Amino acid sequence: MIDLIPLELIEKRIFTIRGMRVMLDSDLAVLYEVETRALNQAVKRNLDRFPDHYMFQLTWEEVGFLRSQNVILENAASEKSKRGKHLKYLPFVFTEHGVLMLSNVLKSERAIKVSIQIVDVFVKLRKVMLSYADIAKRFEEIEKRLGEHDDQFQIFQELILPLMQINTGSKRKIGFNPDQD
C-alpha cells in the first residue's frame, strides 16, 4: 500500500492530552483535505458516534499550552483561510478510535486511506511506548540489584575489612643486631 502521507508527518501531529494520544481537528482536516469547519459539522451531525473517549473539546488552558509550543499557531497558518491565527472556538481532539470513526462520517476514499495510515501510526507509537516501559522496568530491576549489592558491600567494609587488617605494632626489629653498638 502506498502511503498518502509520510508517517513522520502524522507522528508529529499526535499529542498526549489528558493522558490520551490525540490529534487536533485542524490537523485531521489538513490530512483529510477538508476544511476544519466541514469536519466539525460532520461530527456534530453524528455526535452519537463520538463518545468522550473518542473525541473531546480542549479547554482554554490546554489551548494555551499548545500555543506555547506553537502547535495551534502552525495549524492556523497552514489552513488556507484568511482569518489569521486567532481562535474563535475551542478545538476538538480525536483519539485513535475517533479517527477511525471520522473515516465513516466523512465517507470519502481519502478519509478511509488516511485513517488507516493514522491508526497504523497510533499502533506503532503504542508498541514503542510498551518497549520503553519494558526497558524502564529492566533498569529498575538492575538498580534494585545494585542497591542490594551496595548494602552488602557496606557491611563487608564495616565488619570484615577491620578484621583483616594486620596489627603491625612496633616497627622495631626483634633480635640481636651486631652492627648496633
How many Cβ atoms are within 10 Å of 110's Cβ, its own excluded? 14
Q: How confident is the model at residue 77 (pLDDT cuts 50, 70, 90)?
A: very low
In the numeric block, the cell 481532539 is attached to 93
68 within some domain: yes
25 within some domain: yes
Average pLDDT for residues 25-44, to the nearest whole number?
92
Average pLDDT for residues 72-87, to the nearest whole number?
53
172 within some domain: no
13 within some domain: yes
- Give the domain range for residue 100: 7-126
Strand order in the sheet with 15-17: 15-17, 20-24, 92-94, 55-57
162 within some domain: no
pLDDT of residue 84 exceeding 50, the answer is: no
Q: For position 76, which CATH number holds?
A: 3.10.260
pLDDT of residue 99 exceeding 80, the answer is: yes
78 within some domain: yes
pLDDT at position 40 is 93
- How big is the CA angle at 135 (ends 132 and 137), to the nearest 5 degrees? 110
Phi and psi at residue 62, to the nearest 5°: -65, -40
pLDDT at position 44 is 93
181 within some domain: no
Number of structural domains (the chain) is 1
The H or E element containing residue 16 is strand 15-17
pLDDT of residue 168 exceeding 60, the answer is: no
Percent of the chain with pLDDT over 90: 22
155 within some domain: no
Q: How confident is the model at residue 172 (pLDDT cuts 50, 70, 90)?
A: low
Q: How confident is the model at residue 14 (pLDDT cuts 50, 70, 90)?
A: confident
What are the cell numbers at 179? 652492627
Average pLDDT for residues 8-15, to the nearest whole number?
85
pLDDT at position 28 is 92
